[in-house]
Structure 1
Amino acid sequence: MIGALAFGMLARRSLPGDFVLGGTLHLRGDRKLWLKISLLSLPWGVVSVAGIALLASLVRPQGWVFDVEHVSAPVIIGILVGGLIVTYVLTIVVHEAVHGVLLWLFTRTRPVFGFKGWYAYTDAPGWYLPRWPMIAVLAAPMTVLPVLGLPVLAFAPAGLSSFVLLGLIMNSVAAVGDVYMIGIALRVRGPVYFGDAPEAAPGEAGSWYVLAP
Structure 2
Amino acid sequence: MQCPISKRWSRRKEARPQEILEAALTLFVDKGFTATRIEDIAREAGVTRGTPYLYFANKEEIFKAVIRDLLLPQITEAAVLFEGYTGSAADLLRELVRIWWQNMGETQLSALPKLMIAEGGQFPDVIEVYQREFIEPGLGLFKHALEYGIARGEFRPVDVAVAAEVMAAPVVMAMLNQCANTPCNGITVDPQTYLATFLDLTLGGLMMPPRADGPVSAESVSSSSSPSRETPHV
Same fold by TM-score greater than 0.5: no
**TM-score, with structure 2 as normaliser:** 0.30
Higher helix proportion (structure 1 or 2): 2
Q: Which entry has the higher C-alpha Rg, 1 or 2?
A: 2
TM-score between the two structures when normalised by the length of structure 1 = 0.33
